[in-house]
Structure 1
Amino acid sequence: MVYPPRCTLCGVPVESDFGLCGSCWRDTPFVSGLCCDACGVPLLGQDTGTTELCDDCLTIARPWSRGRAALLYRDNGRKLVLSLKHGDRHDIVRPAALWMANAIRPVVTPDTLVVPVPLHWTRLLRRRFNQAALLAHDVSKQLGLPCCPDLLQRTVQTRSLEGLGRDQRYATLQSAITVHPKRRQHIAGRPVLIVDDVMTSGATLSAATQACFSGGAADVCIVTLARVGKDA
């Protein structure tokens, strides 16, 4: 009664907490239907149950087995990501995690461990939170799976990837992410789901995936809140 539910994006009254109004829902680029099995970007055509890959994932060998994204990184999708990442809008985590969980649910198995992409401690100190860790925590709750927020660590303070090309991004992140030595026993022989807010080139997720396999993971899948597509 004191704080009536409002749209997460525009603030107009809605029926339930952490929801979107009809207009914002319509204008939010949710991924549905046929999508790339490796990164989640939507594809043209009907879903026939066979594995389909986008042009990027046909060209670039992805180290993880399967991937999904809840949104495209444009319009309201971009607004949601930036509000969470730079606007301290932690209220976005709850609906975002629900969308991500719904996207990846058919892919994961009951013994999967949910893991966020890590931040270097210096960047974490400046930002005060890791948005991937917040998403991973709520995604794990939605899926009923365990979460290990500090399984991975970023041991190298890399420069910002913004504005870098694909090859530069991969080179920058080479060997920058490792499994925390005190958490290695949690990953040995089990599948892992890596969570991040956005996938652009896939360099960060590739580095995290390779770290998981080096630590003994049996399989790795990925899920992101948003995927940068060609029309983004």
Structure 2
Amino acid sequence: MAHDLLPPDAILVPIPVSSRRLAERGYNQAWELAKAVQRRTGRAALADALVRVIEAPDQHQLPQTQRLNNLHGAFAVHPDHVPRLTGARVVLVDDVRTTGATLNSAAQALQQAGVADIGALVLARTPSD
């Protein structure tokens, strides 16, 4: 059960999708997953804690080094949430992990905002190359 793996004070933070992807799909799959975990565990969740500040190209067919370069500085913590997140435990939520570049970039933004502990909860992982 997910609640056994999550710290009791963890705040769930979904990886934000690009505005283009949000317009295409009409929803953020990571936020949908975070809401499901929130319902089952009672953990706090912040839909807009992270914002995407760089619209990177589609990443799914790029090598890891290029993904890391494309996503460097791609996320920032929303200023309204900095006080709540400073010193907090955060669990990033995403649907798929390929190289880890997205999670890495998001974690860097959270660290810069003063988050004390960062983990990740991912639904699926693609096979290694």
Q: TM-score with structure 1 length normalisation?
A: 0.53
Offset of residue 211 of structure 1: 0.9
Measure, in 1, the Cα distance between the counterparts of 2:87 and 2:112: 11
Offset of residue 120 of structure 1: 2.0
Q: Which has the higher contact order (CA 8 A, sep 6+)?
A: 2
Superposition CA RMSD, Å:
1.4
Query: Larger strand proportion, structure 1 or 2?
Result: 2
Corresponding residue for 1:225?
123
Deviation string for 1:157-198 (max 9, x for gaps)? 110002100100000000011101112122111100100000
Letter in 2 for 1:196: D
Deviation string for 1:70-129 (max 9, x for gaps)? xxxxxxxxxxxxxxxxxxxxxxxxxxxxxxxx2x43432111100100012232122211
Measure, in 1, the Cα distance between the counterparts of 2:88 and 2:53: 23
Q: Is 1:158 matched with 2:61?
A: no
Measure, in 2, the Cα distance between the counterparts of 1:186 and 1:149: 13
Measure, in 1, the Cα distance between the counterparts of 2:51 and 2:22: 12
SS in 2 for 1:183: helix
Query: Residue 77 of structure 2 is aligned with which of 176, 179, 188?
Result: 179
Measure, in 2, the Cα distance between the counterparts of 1:182 and 1:107: 28
Q: Percent identity?
A: 36
Q: TM-score with structure 2 length normalisation?
A: 0.93
Unpaired stretches in structure 1, ≥5 consecutive residues: 1-101
Question: In the alignment, is the contact (CA less than 8 A) between 1:115 and 1:151 conserved in 2?
Answer: yes
Runs of at least 4 residues off by over 4 Å: none
Letter in 2 for 1:200: T
Measure, in 2, the Cα distance between the counterparts of 1:157 and 1:229: 25
Q: Is 1:189 matched with 2:96?
A: no
Query: Larger helix proportion, structure 1 or 2?
Result: 2
SS in 2 for 1:182: helix
Unpaired stretches in structure 2, ≥5 consecutive residues: none
SS in 2 for 1:134: helix
Number of residue equivalences: 129
Corresponding residue for 1:119?
17
Measure, in 1, the Cα distance between the counterparts of 2:4 and 2:100: 22
Q: Is 1:108 matched with 2:6?
A: yes
Corresponding residue for 1:142?
40
